[in-house]
Structure 1
Amino acid sequence: MLPRRSYCRPMATPTLPLTTGTPAAAPASPRAHTARTLPVFVLSALLATGQMYVPIPLFTAMKADWNVGSGVMTWIISAFAFGYAGGFVLFGPLSDRYGHRKVLMTGMLVASVVTLLTGLAFSAPVAVGLRVVQGLVVGSIPPAIMAYVATRIAPAHRAVVTMSIATSFLAATVIAQIVSQAVVASFPWRTVFLASAVVFAVLAFALRRVMLDDAPTGRDLPLRHSYAAIPAVFRLLPLVPMLVAGAMSMAVMVGIYTGLELTGVVTGAGELLTLRAGALPVMLVLPLLAVPLARLSKHNQIALGVVIAASAMIVATFEGSHVAVLTILLAVMVGGLGVIAPAVLQSAGELGGESRAAAMSVAMFSFYVGATVGPLVAAAAAPHGFSALAWTLAALLVGALAMTVLGLALQRRERATA
């Protein structure tokens, strides 16, 4: 077992005192059984993040049911993303305080109820409001999972487990749409939400079986101590540009799939399924790249991912009318974006010290601030055609690259003055 702090300082930037009350000298936590825990975490991550994307294939049916336009449909996505981002900040510190297992199980059960209500919404405005609440509750799940990984998974397994779960968050973009498209082909659109509610409840009990009991926490301290870590995260100057880069990348991820539905560049159900499924092989390979990618610094990992994704988007501006080529380009783009998220998450967790959940909450908050913007960017660019959408998203990725370079410069400056 590695010393307690040996994996918390891979960068020269010192870890800020982000303590929420957990004693610094506490004994090392028992290690979870990786083989039993990882599959349940992967499924939970897919289900949680997938709730953002399941409405995309349902747009036509939902518009017909509620008699609304396409603009309202983009808010069905952005409303969830807005609540989801807020849930990270609200519940991440609470999982440090009350225990990752307790917060995760409670979040899954409440998410089951809210998802059920969302599926029963009788109008678009009600659905948008419920989507905000659904996102807020579901936002309790990823920070608790990632903090549990950082504290209970053996250090030797941690990089692979982190990459696997981060890839699950990314894979949800595609898998949720494929499942949703398959269900709505044979059943009413509400079935997607009702089935999700059932799976949330089932996974809650599965998590209860595979997770270790929560370690003692600092619950005797005032609640404000649980949130004191969040503003401190933003004082980690080399991390802030990485968070912005992550937000821009997530905006591209959500924007491209929303834009495909809005621009009509592909209309047939079979072609849409091909576009969505084409990225799955890349997502399955991403966890296998965790070890070789670990040889690069986090900034270099982010830069590599951004360059790959931006290159795919630029080529797509010229080849977007060819379904086969577009499928390959989307897969390449997803592969690039899939390198970025784990690098940002691991950096936040490493620098977060005893408040890993708070630091990771801020990182995931930044991702889904970007996800909130993605559908709005797609709605603005889509009327001008797919090429305009692709150029817009490529510009966002160039901005993400600039933020990564800035973060590296800040890190080097701090090393020079240390």
Structure 2
Amino acid sequence: MATPILQLPAGNPAEARTRNVSARAHTGRTLPVFVLSALLATGQMYIPIPLFTAMKADWNVGAGVMTWIISAFAFGYAGGFVLFGPLSDRFGHRRVLVTGMIAAAVVTLLTGLAFSAPIAVGLRIVQGLVVGSIPPAIMAYVATRITPAHRAVVTMSVATSFLAATVLAQIVSQAVVDAFPWRTMFLGSAVGFTALAFALRAVMLEDAPTGRDKPLLHSYAAIPAVLRIKPLLPMLIAGALSMAVMVGVYTGIEITGVVKGSGELLALRAGALPVMMALPLLAMPLARLSKPGQMVLGVLVAAVAMVLATFEGGHLGVLTVLLAVLVGGLGIIAPAVLQTAGELGGEARAAASSVAMFSFYVGATVGPIVAAAAAPHGFSMLAWTLAILLVVALGLTTLGMRLQRKASAATTAHDIAQVAQPA
């Protein structure tokens, strides 16, 4: 049961804010709204994929232009993590989150009304930027205002929602475009952002921001320090490549036309949902491995599935299973990278997590570009290209493990020397 919210007496505002820090959110009311917000926010990257054919016909552009609809959002989304992550700690998670939802509603509405591809690409960058304010604020709120006993469940539920949005958004988008004009999906998303903004304002506790007495640039000072953590850098790049594969494979399938008909596409996308739902159940068994070990396992599983897909791309049933396995492997990688970033970041844990999420969506920006280059040569070429990216990710993960072991050994040696040194 969640700790009841404290009733703050009227009086000294500073004293009231201090007491409000100890208040805990009601988990039962907060979790559903956070899950829906995570699905809607991250889903904005993927909803255009089933709309490609309709959007191309409306704007009279080629497939290469359409891939920028995905990459533009991913670019802005990545920037939003770094921009708004520190700001949410400074100005308040509730304020930044609600404001971000309202801004996302406006920009999403404008994107749905865009009358040309270049305008839509520009709006998608802005859309990604403002939507990028949502995940950092949610995760920071969970870490500080959710009852500690409930925190692991809420964190896993929200993280799974970010991943599940990859498939769920495409399924919903495909169902909508089969019955309505493609713009309906964006207009409906704008309504969803507006409704969730009011819901978030209702269920979240009032802000108790800290750090306003320090210069604004102080909020971003930890980011360059995170980038100097040598063991972390290869793992961040590996995570980025993994996300590039995740976005690239679904984008490439749409471009190659290897799967015909909306029914087959729907089955292909829905096939990964059971795996995504099962990922939280794997958290305990995976905890027996180190975080880099989990990354190696995830990359290996994903790489094997992608290589096998090069030979079985023409068989819908087999391809559906292989893509589900691929998603499962990639789903292991992202949480491991995030947790590794938090551990290696030390006191700069929040900044390290923001940088890790930034790297993921830099990779997501690259995914559609890779798909646009490889897909015209057939699904087999697309699959081999993505498999090579996973092999590179495996090498980088191994490098990160070695650097981490060296750093750990050096720290241990230094501590022993300090103890042995005579007083």
**Shared fold by TM > 0.5?**
yes
Residue 231 of structure 1, aligned match among 217, 221, 224: 224
Question: Residue 390 of structure 1 aligns with which residue?
Answer: 383
Q: Aligned in 2, Cα 1:240/1:375: closer, same or farther, shift over 3 Å?
A: same
1:186 equivalenced with 2:184 (yes/no): no
Aligned to 1:266: 259
Equivalent residue number for residue 3 of structure 2: none
Q: Distance in 1 between matches of 2:253 and 2:404?
A: 38
Percentage identity across aligned positions? 81
Give unmatched runs, 5+ long, in structure 1: 1-25
Which position in structure 2 is the counterpart of 1:123? 116
Q: Report the equivalent of 2:95.
A: 102
Which residue of structure 1 lines up, in the alignment, with residue 50 of structure 2?
57
Question: What amino acid is the match of 1:287?
Answer: P
Which moved further from structure 2: 109-118 or 342-351?
342-351
Alpha-carbon separation, structure 2, partners of 1:240 and 1:61: 40
The structure with the largest helix share of the pair is 2
Aligned amino acid, residue 141 of structure 1: I
- The 1:345/1:388 distance shift into structure 2, 3 A limit, reads same
Per the alignment, residue 36 of structure 1 pairs with 29
Aligned match of 2:129: 136
Distance 1:38 1:242 in 2: 30
C-alpha distance in structure 2 between counterparts of 1:282 and 1:404, whole Å: 23
Distance 2:241 2:309 in 1: 18
Partner of residue 19, structure 1: none
Is this contact kept in 2: 1:150–1:356, CA < 8 A? no
Tell me the equivalent position of 1:5.
none
Q: Distance in 2 between matches of 1:28 and 1:301?
A: 35
**CA shift for structure 1 position 211:** 2.0
Match of 2:206 among 206, 210, 213: 213
**Residue 68 of structure 1 corresponds to which residue in structure 2?**
61
Q: Counterpart of 2:304?
A: 311
Alignment partner, residue 171 of structure 1: 164
CA contact (8 A) 2:92 2:207 kept: yes
Question: CA separation in 1, counterparts of 2:169 and 2:38?
Answer: 11
Q: Post-superposition shift, 1:200? A: 0.5
Letter in 2 for 1:50: G
Name 2:350's counterpart in structure 1.
Answer: 357
SS in 2 for 1:83: helix
Aligned partners of 1:144 and 1:357 also within 8 Å: no
What is aligned with 1:12?
Answer: none
Q: Is the 8 A contact 1:146 1:357 kept in 2?
A: no
Partner deviation per Cα, 1:225-259 (whole Å, 9 max, x = no partner): 01101111112222222211110000000000000
Answer yes or no: is the 8 Å Cα contact 1:114–1:130 preserved in 2. yes
3-state DSSP class of the match of 1:82? helix
Question: 2:232 & 2:142 partners in 1: Cα distance?
Answer: 20
What is the TM-score with the length of structure 1 in the denominator? 0.91
Q: Measure, in 1, the Cα distance between the counterparts of 2:208 and 2:125.
A: 31
The CA distance in 2 between the partners of 1:403 and 1:350, in whole Å, is 18
Instruction: Find the structure with the greater CA-based Rg.
Output: 2
Tell me by how many angstroms 1:155 deviates.
4.1
Equivalent-residue separation in structure 2 for 1:287 and 1:34 (angstroms): 18
Residue 317 of structure 2 aligns to a residue whose secondary structure is helix
Contact 1:160 1:291 in 2 (8 A): no
| TM-score, normalised with respect to structure 2 | 0.90
SS at match of 1:360: helix
State how far apart, in whole Å, the 2-side matches of 1:356 and 1:105 are.
Answer: 24
CA distance 1:248–1:331, shift in 2 (3 Å): same
In structure 2, distance between residues paired with 1:236 and 1:406: 13
Residues 201 and 354 of structure 1, relative CA distance in 2, 3 Å threshold = farther
TM-superposed deviation, 1:363: 0.8
Looking at structure 2, the residues matched to 29 and 303 of structure 1 have their Cα atoms a distance apart, in angstroms, of: 39
How many pairs align? 394
CA drift of 1:156 comes to 4.2
Q: 1:199 to 1:27 in 2, by over 3 A?
A: closer
Higher relative contact order (CA 8 A, sep 6+): 1
Counterpart CA distance in 1 for 2:208 and 2:346 is 16
Pairwise CA distance, 1:376: 0.4
Q: 1:127 to 1:331 in 2, by over 3 A?
A: same
Of residues 130, 146, 152 in structure 2, which corresponds to 1:153? Answer: 146
Deviation at 1:292, TM superposition (A): 2.3
Alpha-carbon spacing, 1:158–1:341, altered in 2? closer, same or farther (3 Å): farther
Q: Does 2:233 correspond to 1:248? A: no
- The answer to whether the aligner puts 1:417 opposite 2:404 as a matched pair is no
**Does the 8 A contact of 1:160 with 1:290 survive in 2?**
no
Residues in 1 aligned to 2:193 and 2:20: alpha-carbon distance in whole angstroms: 33
TM superposition shift of 1:188 = 0.7
